[in-house]
């Protein structure tokens, strides 16, 4: 029986467990289990329900075993920046707070003046955003939060899932790079910055690169899931975008990627970071990639707005079939373009009202029908991608000649078309399951089953 690699992929709205096996250059990919993931508002904060997500992950692994897969290893990827704190006994000190929480509002301006921002970017190379781990920790420090006083280790979301599977605590490079706490050149913790922040150095542990075996499933986990053999947990590109970018097909220096999902991440892969003042002002970030590469990109609000609209319409009893909504948007007569990165769209109580209010305040046509709302969001995203590409071209030796859209958003034919029209270059869509594919390819490389990602000629 062939080796099977399980990719556990947590997104902002759902998670799934995917099984992958490789035979003669063909990757066979199957969905084993899917589950929902939602933010929970409780008290003054927005949380992720980590215990429920951990249980769902175990359910997915259990299903894979019951279906007869010969599981060789497991890789875990999630969204960026969020984390959990554990004490010296390995106890989780609280559910991780969601990056959309308001506790970090205004903190970047409080922590950095303009000269400090320039110096900080020259070290970290990360776009300063209030959602980043740096400011989440600063929020805890300011409030003298009791968790910081007893915490032993900080673990980003994929690190946290891995820890409770294996009992081994470490920090994977790609996810750690989203924190704004690494030195972009050395790929290690920026210890001087951590000191300035005033949080314990001991929270930050060993950084492991994708392809490293993080540990093996604990005996009690194996017994609970009915597993007899030992199974490794492998560090993959555990920021979901790093796995997705690793799966982008083809080659060529003058190509860009767009990982399209809840967030849109537009950029290129580089050998070394770009830490210039021009890059900072243009809003680019240098995040870690598989193989120690740099993902030089912009973080752009993605299909989050459409996802929220669909959720609201579902509660109102309106039509939410995706094909219906895209078809309605294709024929909608509205030209309004909104700033998708405006803070009013970050976590509004009602997305439709937020969009209508923005249009009203800026003197542009207010959407009325569902098709008009969808069209407004998608053409606004396409125009934002155009702005990002124009800025990217000013920072590279040669202009981008093609764009590869990967992830769930590449199925949105209208957004693909609007993007191609806005950019004026060829746009290639797929693979849809790029994150899971990249996750599995790193595991296969770690196992020695393949020596290069380009060995994969076909994906089923």
- pLDDT digit string, tens, across residues 290-301: 999 999 999 898
Crossing angle of helices 351-361/370-395, nearest 10°?
A: 70
Distance from C-alpha of 173 to C-alpha of 166, rounded to nearest angstrom: 18
Q: In this predicted structure, what is the pLDDT of residue 458?
A: 76
Cα–Cα nearest to 444, from 434, 432, 456: 456
Structure-block tokens of residue 397: 């030796």
Question: pLDDT tens for residues 39-72?
Answer: 999 999 999 999 999 999 999 999 999 999 999 9
Structure-block tokens of residue 252: 């060529």
Residues 6+ apart with CB under 8 A from 193: 120, 123, 124, 134, 181
> Residue range 16-38: average pLDDT?
95
Question: pLDDT tens for residues 375-406?
Answer: 999 999 999 999 999 999 999 999 999 999 99
Q: In this predicted structure, what is the pLDDT of residue 251?
A: 54
> Residue range 28-38: average pLDDT?
96
Question: E strand or H helix at 39, and its extent?
Answer: strand 39-42
> Residue range 148-162: average pLDDT?
97
Domain spanning 248-430: CATH 3.30.420.40: yes
Residues 6+ apart with CB under 8 A from 220: none
> Residue range 319-339: average pLDDT?
96
Position 249 pLDDT exceeds 80: no
Put simply, whether the predicted model's pTM sits higher than 0.85 gets the answer yes
Q: In this predicted structure, what is the pLDDT of residue 1?
A: 59
Chain centroid, CA 204 distance in Å: 21
Q: In this predicted structure, what is the pLDDT of residue 263?
A: 86
Categorise residue 414: left if φ over 0, alpha if ψ from -120 to 50, beta otherwise.
alpha
- Give the rounded percent of residues in the chain with a pLDDT score beyond 90: 90
Question: pLDDT tens for residues 417-450?
Answer: 999 999 999 999 988 899 999 999 999 999 999 9
Average pLDDT of the chain, as a whole number: 95
Q: In this predicted structure, what is the pLDDT of residue 253?
A: 65
Every domain of the chain with CATH number 3.30.420.40 lies at: 4-239+436-459, 248-430
183 in active site: no
Could you give the dihedral angle defined by the CA atoms of residues 40, 41, 42 and 47, in that order, rounded to the nearest 10 degrees? 50
Q: In this predicted structure, what is the pLDDT of residue 453?
A: 84
Position 374 pLDDT exceeds 70: yes
Position 161 pLDDT exceeds 80: yes
Q: In this predicted structure, what is the pLDDT of residue 151?
A: 98
Please check whether residue 453 is in contact with residue 445, taking contact to mean a CB–CB distance below 8 angstroms: yes
Catalytic one of 49, 152, 240, 321? 240
Domain spanning 4-239+436-459: CATH 3.30.420.40: yes
Beta bridge partners of 263: 301
CA angle 316, 319, 322 (to 5 degrees): 125
Q: In this predicted structure, what is the pLDDT of residue 252?
A: 58
> Residue range 217-245: average pLDDT?
96
Q: In this predicted structure, what is the pLDDT of residue 289?
A: 96
Q: In this predicted structure, what is the pLDDT of residue 301?
A: 87
Dihedrals phi, psi of 157, to nearest 5 degrees: -55, -50
Please check whether residue 315 is in contact with residue 349, taking contact to mean a CB–CB distance below 8 angstroms: no
């Amino acid at each position: 029986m062939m080796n099977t690699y399980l990719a556990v992929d947590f997104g902002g709205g759902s998670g799934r467990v995917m099984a992958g096996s490789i035979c003669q250059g063909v990757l066979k990919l199957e969905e084993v289990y899917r589950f929902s993931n939602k933010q929970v508002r409780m008290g003054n904060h927005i949380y992720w329900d980590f215990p429920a997500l951990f249980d769902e992950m175990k359910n997915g692994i259990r299903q894979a075993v019951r279906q007869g897969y010969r599981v060789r290893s497991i890789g875990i990827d999630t969204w960026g920046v969020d984390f959990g704190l554990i004490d010296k006994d390995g106890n989780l000190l609280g559910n991780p707070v969601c990056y959309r929480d308001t506790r970090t509002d205004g903190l970047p301006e409080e922590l950095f003046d303009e000269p400090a921002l320039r110096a900080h970017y020259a070290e970290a190379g990360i776009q300063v955003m209030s959602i980043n781990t740096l400011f989440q920790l600063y929020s805890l420090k300011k409030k003298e939060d009791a968790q910081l006083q007893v915490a032993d280790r900080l673990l980003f979301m994929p690190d946290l899932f891995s820890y409770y599977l294996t009992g081994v605590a470490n920090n994977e490079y790609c996810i750690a790079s989203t924190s704004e706490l690494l030195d972009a050149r050395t790929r290690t913790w920026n210890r001087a910055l951590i000191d300035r922040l005033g949080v314990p150095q001991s929270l930050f542990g060993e950084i492991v690169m994708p392809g490293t075996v993080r540990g093996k499933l604990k005996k009690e986990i194996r017994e609970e899931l009915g597993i007899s053999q030992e199974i490794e947990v492998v560090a993959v590109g555990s920021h979901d975008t790093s796995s997705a970018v690793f799966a982008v097909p083809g080659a060529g220096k003058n190509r860009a990627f767009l990982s399209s999902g809840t967030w849109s991440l537009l950029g290129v892969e580089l050998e070394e970071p770009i830490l210039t003042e021009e890059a900072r002002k243009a809003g680019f970030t240098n995040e870690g990639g598989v193989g120690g590469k740099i993902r030089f990109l912009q973080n752009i609000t993605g299909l989050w707005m459409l996802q929220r609209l669909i959720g609201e319409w579902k509660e109102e009893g309106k039509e939410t079939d995706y094909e219906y909504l895209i078809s309605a948007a294709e024929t909608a007569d509205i030209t309004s373009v909104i700033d998708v990165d405006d803070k009013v769209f970050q976590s509004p109580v009602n997305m439709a009202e937020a969009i209508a209010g923005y249009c009203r305040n800026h003197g542009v046509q207010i959407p009325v029908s569902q098709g008009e709302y969808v069209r407004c969001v998608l053409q606004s995203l396409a125009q934002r991608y155009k702005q990002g590409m124009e800025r990217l071209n000013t920072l590279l030796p040669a202009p981008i000649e093609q764009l590869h859209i990967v992830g769930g958003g590449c199925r949105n034919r209208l957004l693909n078309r609007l993007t191609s029209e806005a950019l004026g270059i060829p746009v290639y869509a797929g693979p849809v399951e790029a994150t899971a594919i990249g996750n599995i390819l790193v595991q296969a490389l770690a196992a020695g089953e393949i020596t290069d990602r380009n060995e994969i000629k076909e994906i089923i």
